[in-house]
Amino acid sequence: MDIHEYQAKELLAGFGVPVPRGSVAYSADQAVYAATELGGWHWAVKAQIHSGGRGKAGGVKLCRTYQEVAAAAKAMLGATLVTYQTGPAGKVVNRLYVEQAEPFERELYLGFVLDRKIERIRVIASANGGMEIEEIAHDKPESILQIEVEPAVGLQPFQAREIAFGLGLNIKQVSQAVTAIMGCYRAFRDLDATMVEINPLVVTKDQRVLALDAKMSFDDNALFRRRQIAEMRDVAEEDPREATANQHGLNYVGLEGDIGCIINGAGLAMATMDMIKYAGGEPANFLDVGGGASPERVGQAFNLVLSDRNVKAILVNIFAGINRCDWVAQGVVQAAKGLRVPLIVRLAGTNVEEGQKIVRECGLPIITADSLAEAAQKAVQAAREHVPA
């Protein structure tokens, strides 16, 4: 789960990370009021969407007067911001963040990610901030500093100092950078985050170190014990289908293809998508209905897949271990009534004979398959031959 910049800064400030003063606004009047409350003579008005590259897309405006703040807010609110991460559809700006604009001399990069391969938190830093980490890795790979955190002892202050000195900071700046680095680590650890990124981490003209921007992502599976984080979820920033899936306990990721997938188990889902690609087709989604694929749950999965207008065929691939094929088949038959796209069903596992019998005798034009390869081939063929009603 992602959160907005202002939310990430609020969390990080609670762990001692220095951030500029700012306030969220939902209207131009609120933006002006926020600027007056913050004081000063320069403000940054920032669009709050879950995407990088906002500045290049016009989502960050530096203002010197209240009139400029009002004009920037009016231009952004309700507008669709298109960045390299949003895709051509873009995202609608529903809220802004107004903060004091701090003049700075240097931009640094600081990131914390969960490296699943080594099962460690990896700290990444670079003296070339203000750029995406992919650009830094491509253009100046020698500037990237990395440290792996030993989970038994956590990030140590001497490691934070190594990073700070490696960034070319002076003694005064190093102590502040260490505070920021250690604070980010504690936030990552204590809040079940999967990513914390400060880009840029700046050195101001008066020698302060500030987190000028902040991004945080969290483990969805840990939200049950992080209520304060779960409450920060902005459903408007998510794919509506993924938000609906989350409400029903389904794991769904929308893709660009035309073959809808309803599968139990993440591994089987990925194998099915690979097989569809191998057969010459394109999956429209990743959807894992989980181990408890009850008839009601299967029906919800069908509704979710059919909400994608690009779907020309649906492939149901169930390997029943925890659940039963006859149970799943009941849900498939119930959901298939009135279906306007071809349906391909492959069942295997517990009570498979009973499940196949239910599908065969339902009287509906359901295409069956005995193997995954056969199911993928039939799904690709059905999608190509389908003529929308």
| pLDDT band of 76, cuts 50, 70, 90 | very high
SS3 call for 101: coil
46 in a known ligand binding site: yes
Question: What's the mean pLDDT in 40-58?
Answer: 90
282 in a known ligand binding site: no
Report the range of poorest mean pLDDT among 142-146, 211-215, 330-334. 330-334
In 228-244, which positions are buried (b, 16+ CB within 10 angstroms) versus exposed (e)? Answer: ebeebbbeebbeebbeb
* Statement: residue 293 has pLDDT above 90: no
99 in a known ligand binding site: yes
Start and end residues for every CATH 3.30.1490.20 domain found in the chain: 21-101
Mean pLDDT of the chain: 90
Q: What is the reported pLDDT for 235? A: 81
Provide, rounded to the nearest whole percent, the portion of the chain with pLDDT above 70.
Answer: 98
Q: What is the reported pLDDT for 296? A: 74
Question: What's the mean pLDDT in 104-114?
Answer: 94
- pTM of this structure: 0.77
DSSP string, 12-63: HHTTT-----EEEESSHHHHHHHHHHH-SS-EEEEE--S-S-TTTTT-EEEE
> Which residues, 6+ apart, have CB-to-CB distance to 267 below 8 Å?
none
Structure tokens at 276: 């569809």
385 in a known ligand binding site: no
Which residues are the active-site residues?
109, 197
102 in a known ligand binding site: yes
Quickly list H helices, 203-313: 227-230, 240-247, 266-278, 295-306
9 in a known ligand binding site: no
Q: What is the reported pLDDT for 28? A: 95
Report the range of poorest mean pLDDT among 38-42, 169-173, 181-185, 324-328. 324-328
* Statement: residue 380 has pLDDT above 90: yes
DSSP string, 142-197: GGEEEEEEPTTT---HHHHHHHHHHTT--HHHHHHHHHHHHHHHHHHHHTTEEEEE
Answer whether 335's CB lies under 8 Å from 298's CB.
yes
Question: What's the mean pLDDT in 311-339?
Answer: 84
| pLDDT band of 294, cuts 50, 70, 90 | low
Q: Pick the more confident residue, 72 or 250.
A: 72
Q: Pick the more confident residue, 323 or 6.
A: 6
| pLDDT band of 338, cuts 50, 70, 90 | confident
Q: Pick the more confident residue, 112 or 88.
A: 112
Q: Pick the more confident residue, 188 or 233.
A: 188
Answer whether 58's CB lies under 8 Å from 248's CB.
no
Q: Pick the more confident residue, 134 or 292.
A: 134
In this structure, the number of other CB atoms found within 10 A of the CB of residue 278 comes to 12
256 in a known ligand binding site: no
| pLDDT band of 292, cuts 50, 70, 90 | low
In this structure, the number of other CB atoms found within 10 A of the CB of residue 141 comes to 9
Structure tokens at 239: 């794919």
Domain 239-385 grouped into CATH 3.40.50.261? yes
Answer whether 192's CB lies under 8 Å from 219's CB.
yes
Question: What's the mean pLDDT in 121-143?
Answer: 87
Start and end residues for every CATH 3.40.50.261 domain found in the chain: 239-385
Start and end residues for every CATH 3.30.470.20 domain found in the chain: 1-20+104-238
DSSP state of 220: G
55 in a known ligand binding site: yes
Provide, rounded to the nearest whole percent, the portion of the chain with pLDDT above 90.
Answer: 60
CATH code of 21-101, in short, is 3.30.1490.20
Reference 47, options 99, 84, 10, 110; nearest CA is 99
DSSP string, 304-354: HHHTSTT--EEEEEEEESSS-HHHHHHHHHHHHTT--S-EEEEEEETTHHH
Q: What is the reported pLDDT for 381? A: 94
Reference 193, options 34, 14, 11, 44; nearest CA is 11
Q: What is the reported pLDDT for 322? A: 66
| pLDDT band of 188, cuts 50, 70, 90 | very high
Question: Distance (Å, rounded) from C-alpha 73 to C-alpha 94?
Answer: 10
172 in a known ligand binding site: no
- Classify burial at 79, counting beta carbons within 10 Å of its beta carbon; exposed 0-12, middle 13-18, buried 19 or more: middle
Question: What's the mean pLDDT in 235-250?
Answer: 76
Q: What is the pLDDT of residues 344-361, one digit of tens each?
A: 999 888 888 888 898 888
Domain 1-20+104-238, CATH homologous superfamily name and number? ATP-grasp fold, B domain (3.30.470.20)
* Statement: residue 259 has pLDDT above 80: yes
Question: Distance (Å, rounded) from C-alpha 317 to C-alpha 327?
Answer: 14
